[in-house]
């Protein structure tokens, strides 16, 4: 296949740069504890300095795989599919999500919201970053808002972002992993003072699973 043919399939979403895909238990947010098949797409230019998957940033490091084959593999394991990255909305997700829907799947996405939406999505986890703010249109569609807390100023940013989502959107505060012993006591105090928020913990890291 020529580079030009690859680029056409990439634009159509029929091939995507896949860093990894695996069956595990969702570790964060409202669906914590559920079996889920994760599809991690390569490519992200939001540039969070504390990102724990920086190896996902360069899409050229990851193979272009057939979207249909990935969808079929995922659906064989379970019907809850999580699209993550990187930043999955960098790519056209229409083809992937239509195939997953044909296979009876519920599709979740974890996104910074920095790119326009594509695809058919059942659950949208919006995790805004100061380095690349969400597109205004995504706020009303978010199912849950997951704010990563790295320093005290992030609580103010979290409140600013919470003011933009719908009243049905679940609100989560999650410590950046390396600072969890310092940050979770602050998150606890903040939630007790602001009970609309909930704590999210990266339980998969405690369980030592992907």
The reply to whether 128 sits in an annotated binding site is: yes
The reply to whether 123 sits in an annotated binding site is: no
Distance, CA of 202 to CA of 193 (rounded, Å): 23
The reply to whether 149 sits in an annotated binding site is: no
The reply to whether 40 sits in an annotated binding site is: yes
Q: Which of 52, 48, 29, 30 is nearest to 40 (CA)?
A: 52
The reply to whether 127 sits in an annotated binding site is: yes
36 close to 80: Cβ distance less than 8 angstroms: yes
The reply to whether 86 sits in an annotated binding site is: yes
The reply to whether 113 sits in an annotated binding site is: no
Distance, CA of 146 to CA of 131 (rounded, Å): 16
The reply to whether 47 sits in an annotated binding site is: no
Distance, CA of 187 to CA of 26 (rounded, Å): 21
The reply to whether 51 sits in an annotated binding site is: yes
Q: Which of 106, 11, 19 is nearest to 57 (CA)?
A: 19
C-alpha to C-alpha distances, 67 to 7, 17, 56, 96, 123, nearest whole angstrom: 14, 9, 18, 6, 20
The reply to whether 44 sits in an annotated binding site is: yes
The reply to whether 67 sits in an annotated binding site is: no
The reply to whether 210 sits in an annotated binding site is: yes
What are 9's two structure tokens?
Answer: 């399939």
3-state class (DSSP) for residue 15: strand
Q: Which of 143, 33, 123, 134 is nearest to 87 (CA)?
A: 134
Binding positions = 25-27, 40, 44, 48, 50-52, 84, 86, 127-129, 210
Binding positions for [4Fe-4S] cluster = 44, 48, 51
Binding positions for S-adenosyl-L-methionine = 50-52, 86, 127-129
Binding positions for substrate = 25-27, 40, 84, 210
């Amino acid at each position: 296949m020529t580079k030009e043919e690859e680029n056409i399939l990439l634009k159509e979403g029929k091939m995507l740069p896949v860093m990894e895909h695996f069956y595990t238990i969702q570790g964060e947010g409202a669906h914590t504890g559920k079996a889920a098949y994760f599809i991690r797409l390569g490519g992200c230019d939001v540039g969070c300095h504390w990102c724990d998957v920086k190896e996902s940033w360069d899409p050229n490091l990851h193979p272009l795989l057939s979207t249909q084959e990935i969808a079929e593999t995922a659906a064989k394991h379970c019907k809850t599919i999580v699209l993550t990255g990187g930043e999955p909305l960098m790519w056209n997700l229409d083809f992937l999500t239509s195939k997953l829907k044909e296979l009876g799947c519920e599709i979740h996405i974890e996104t910074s919201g920095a790119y326009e939406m594509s695809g058919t999505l059942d659950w949208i986890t919006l995790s805004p970053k100061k380095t690349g703010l969400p597109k205004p249109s995504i706020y009303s569609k978010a199912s849950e808002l997951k704010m990563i807390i790295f320093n005290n100023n992030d609580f103010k940013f979290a409140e600013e972002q919470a003011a933009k989502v719908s009243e049905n959107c679940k609100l989560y505060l999650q410590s950046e992993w390396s600072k969890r012993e310092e940050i979770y006591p602050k998150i606890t105090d903040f939630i007790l003072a602001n009970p609309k928020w909930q704590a999210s913990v990266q339980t998969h890291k405690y369980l030592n699973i992907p």
